Structure 1
Amino acid sequence: MTAAGVEIERVSFGYGATRVLEDVSLTVRRGEFFAFLGPSGSGKTTLLRLVAGFGTPDSGRIRIGGRDATREPPWARNVGLVFQSYALWPHMTVAQNVAFGLERRRVPRAERDRRVRAALDLVGLSQMMDRRPAQLSGGQQQRVAIARTLAIEPEVLLLDEPLSNLDAGLRAGVRAELVELQRRLGLTTILVTHDQEEANAAADRMAVLNEGRVLQVGAPAELYDRPASRFVAGFLGTANLIEGEVAAGGFRAGGLALRIGDAAPGRATLALRPQAVTLLRGGDGGIPARVLRAEFLGGHVRYTLEAGEGLRLTAEEPHLRGLVPLAPGAAIRLDFDPAQATLLRQ
């Protein structure tokens, strides 16, 4: 099984007057686990389907393994697509489902049997090859769908929200198995998801899409720590997005002057993650604030605070045994490290 990179060059696509993708360009490296991340309607699934060959861009090109595949039919691209719905034949056994694509490709019987067993071994289901889908759990059915795709030995594996039908308890386990399998095979993989936790946990890099455009591409931690726009900052986890103005002495908002590094004057948004806000439980200094709400979330307590002239902030404090959460109405002082803040102009 060999891997191939995917290059998407200035791809646009629409249905009549409705534009779905606008001038999308990005590169998925050979052997990389890449994610298309965005809300419903962002164009991520449409982009995946164009890579698979289920549609042709209005403009732009798609290269797979260096060759122009823009107008190749799906069966000529040697890519494997795992659907959100599993799409298993209920009247067939597990082995017959996995063999289906090989039969369509007229692979000889002996080779077909070898590939079916090898694919089921990879996902840990060779002992269930005679069962039917109704006799399997949701997680097992998803692994059959993955095995069916791996059996055709694709150059690129495409995953369309593959875990969304699983409950939360199964999702993390199947995701870990999927990532381990991808690492072992070194197979170029593209995941479509709206779940930023899923993308963060699985992807080497990801592209954040919204309204048909790629807003930012990078490693998950890079995008989380250094978002390039308000949308990316707010979509990738919780963020305080504080509207204000850069002036002499720092960033001014809600009657407060907040310390930041050197920046050009003018309107801006300060993005600050809740865990970067430090609650000072004693002593002087910092910014005076009042607790509006406290939510105990197990590993941490999330506070909604009011500071200055109606400025609301979210802060998170690790929960430790014996540390009593602050009650609503409590006075507190807070601080933050300017190096943890991002100044956004868009």
Structure 2
Amino acid sequence: MAMSDWPEDATVQRFSDATSSEGVMVFAEMVDGHLLNVGRELMGPGREMADHLGVSLSAILIHHSVGDAPQDLIALGADKVIVVEDSRLEHYTTLPYARALSDYLTNVHRPEILLMGATTTGRDLAPRVASRVDAGVTADCTKLSVGPFYHRKTKSVTTHMLEAHRPSFGESKLACIMSNPEQLWAPAMATARPGIFVAPVSDSSRTGDVEAFTPDWQDGDFSVEVMDVRRGGGERVDLGHCKIVVAGGIPCGQTGFREIHALVDALKEQGLDAEWGASRAAVDAGHAPSTRQIGQTGQSIRPPVYIAIAISGAPQHMAGMKDSERIIAVNTDESCTMLQSADAAIVGDYREVIPQLTEKVKSGFTFGL
């Protein structure tokens, strides 16, 4: 929206002035002493918005031992890193993490924007913190930016507001969520799934401040004690680091994804880091586990080669793989979105095409990798 888009007599206010807030903050999640990738990824849009607003970018770490994570975040664009360390914070529990983050926002510094990863922890922590500081959260965002909002009822313009874009209406539309100018809150909070954004290039020459913060712990904050942590109990596959991902749609379930498995096995025999995935429709139909789902409500990936087999290209699926370096599509419908978006398209029945492609891979064809 440009200034010409609202009346000359409209009142104009900046979001940060109206909410007594300043800056952009990223909650950088840590597990077992390691910084999660989603925290690194959020430094990208965080730095871009901070530069656009002309403010600083901070990151906050809450863990029992942060190690070199503050320096890593500074190298990724943070101007300041707030560190909350306590031996009781080794494993995430809701109350102490909510106390630490909300105490800092309430008593020390309230940023204009707070970004968090849409992880298991982030999904639990974000609404808790928002409730404590009288803010709101937009979840599972695919795009983050700042801009103005014209409120026609009051003829007022609030500038430099967070524009949080997320799929809606069954993930068929992309909605832009902004604060209500009649009831502004800060920070404007948003979460994003891992893999949606690209982590900025690390610059070890950057310098920044590291600030230690001790929350006002209350009786009951540590009333929940984690006795043991056991990870597992199901297939967990990180498709984000694969060189080739072969994904199947619901028609592939007719043969139990047999052709896809054969192609992936052939690629692995050639020494390639290959894995298979599935569309949401295929997962919902029971043809693949949810851990293999690609798309807005699954994993977001950008491999060097993405092979889409019998996938039409619904918006929620495209959101999870559209940034792949090369997209190869196989489908009987030559007008479908996936074929129209692909770098290489094969019109045909996957049951005939994929076995031929598998034989070529066995003969040494590796899609240029």
Same fold (TM over 0.5): no
Higher relative strand content: 1
Task: Output the TM-score relative to the length of structure 2.
Answer: 0.30
Structure possessing the higher relative contact order (Cα contacts under 8 Å, 6 or more residues apart): 1
Q: Taking structure 1 as the reference length, what is the TM-score of the superposition?
A: 0.31
